[in-house]
Structure 1
Amino acid sequence: MPRIVIQNLENLTINSELTDRKVIELIHENGTDWMHACGKKGRCTTCKMIVLEGMENLSDPTEREIVYRNQNRLKSNERLACQATIQSGELIIRVAEINKFPHIVYTE
């Protein structure tokens, strides 16, 4: 069973019975705001998530993510929530500083 923990949102935990779902879909279905300026199409990096643990539980990087890595717009520990699907297991992430919403209170 996939589990997403968003560390800097008070360790918000999202459990799902479904596998192979995009991370951003599970976050939004939980009622949590997560930035996505391009409409979840992989055309920007505003849905970037910092992966602290569980990278092995995600799908392989997409072509778009590889392009952004080559442009130094994504670090090796970052993925696009609109491109990465969670297969199973636990994923511990953080909202990137640059992508935080002003109306949400984030924790350290």
Structure 2
Amino acid sequence: MLKIIIENLNNKEIISQESKRKVIELIHENFIDWMHACGKKGRCTSCKMIITEGIKNLSPLTDREEFFREKERLKLNERLTCQAELMSGTLKIKVAEANKFPHMDYS
């Protein structure tokens, strides 16, 4: 069983039985709005997540994530939800301040 906890969305929990799924797919399948300006192609950083726990449960960095790290647009505790796959365990994340939607209530 895989679990994602979105801490600043009132600790919203997403449970999945399937591994190796992109984080953004799991979020959207659970009817949670999450920004993705480039259509989930890894061309921007609008879908980034801040990881507070469980970074080791994600797939290795993709070429696109490496590119944004080199440009200093992704910190060590940040990944792109459209690129990172949840492989096992629990992942605790937050929505980045710059990527919050005005119509959502964040905690």
In the superposition, the TM-score normalised over structure 2's length comes to: 0.99
> Shift of residue 2 of structure 1?
0.9
Matched, 1:88 2:72: no
> Shift of residue 47 of structure 1?
0.1
Q: Which 4+ stretches in 1 moved above 3 angstroms?
A: none
SS of the residue aligned with 2:28?
Answer: helix
1:86 and 1:66 map into 2 onto residues whose CA distance is 18
2:43 and 2:67 map into 1 onto residues whose CA distance is 10
Matched, 1:56 2:60: no
- Residues 76-105 of structure 1, C-alpha deviation per residue, up to 9 Å, x if partnerless? 000000000000100000000000000001
- Residues 30-84 of structure 1, C-alpha deviation per residue, up to 9 Å, x if partnerless? 0000000000000000000000000000000000000000000000000000000
In the superposition, the TM-score normalised over structure 1's length comes to: 0.98
1:23 and 1:33 map into 2 onto residues whose CA distance is 13
Q: Partner residue of 1:39?
A: 39
SS of the residue aligned with 2:64?
Answer: helix
Matched, 1:12 2:12: yes
Q: Partner residue of 1:76?
A: 76
CA-based RMSD of the aligned residues comes to 0.3
Letter in 2 for 1:48: K
Aligned residues: 107
Q: Percent identity?
A: 63
What runs of 5+ residues in structure 1 fail to find an aligned partner?
none
2:76 and 2:70 map into 1 onto residues whose CA distance is 10
2:2 and 2:44 map into 1 onto residues whose CA distance is 26
